[in-house]
Amino acid sequence: MVMVAPSILSADFSRLGDEVKAIEKGGADMVHIDVMDGHFVPNLTFGAPIVKWIRPVTDLPFDCHLMVAKPAKFLADFKKAGADYVTVHVESEGWRDAIETIRDMGMKPGVSLNPDTPLVSVMDVLDKVDLLLIMTVNPGFAGQGFMSEVVSKVRKASILKSGEGYRYILSVDGGIKPSNVGEVIDAGADMVVAGSAVYGSDDIRGAIRALKSAR
């Protein structure tokens, strides 16, 4: 069964602690935290203080998805705040060194690819990361439409994982909902990130269950 990591970017920030507790009770496997700096992507979201504030309310692992131009300068803050996974973009500055630093700090490194970035760009680090995040939207804003043409990249990453014995979690992020999640599950995804599909529902538990059970 596919894992589900709800993105708190779509949560109600006036009651964020309760929103995080709700996805834990609803069967989520991880909390996805979209960090945007207004440079790497046009939007600006939140930083390490938010992670620190919500860390006490759940035992779920946190994946801090750094959509930032220079990830290295943020790593120490996210370590102190309680991040478990830190995912950096291959399109960002110094991302290879950041992966090593994340590991050295005792966190689990991840690497992410924008829709137009080929899988070959990360071939040399697939044995060094714990999470490979493939974007099925262009990063920066919640609520975008799913780009089905990226599913072939997910399938290639899954074949590589099984063929080479890599241990990364293969995660897919962007426009995921019950009507299309079956495509990425069939392609080999281990986990899906979903924002509005979970937090836009009146039944969070049911929304998570629908994603996990879709084929």
Closest by CA to 6, choosing from 77, 68, 84, 61, is 61
First to last CA, the chain: 10
Q: Which of 29, 34, 63, 190 is catalytic?
A: 34
How would DSSP label each residue in 79-146? HHHT-SEEEEETTSTTHHHHHHHHHHTTSEEEEEE-TTS-GGGGGGGTTT-SEEEEESS-TT-TTPPP
Distance CA 177, CA 133 (A): 17
Q: Which of 29, 37, 173, 190 is catalytic?
A: 173
Q: Does the annotation mark 34 as catalytic?
A: yes
Q: Does the annotation mark 202 as catalytic?
A: no
Q: Which residues are marked as active site?
A: 34, 173
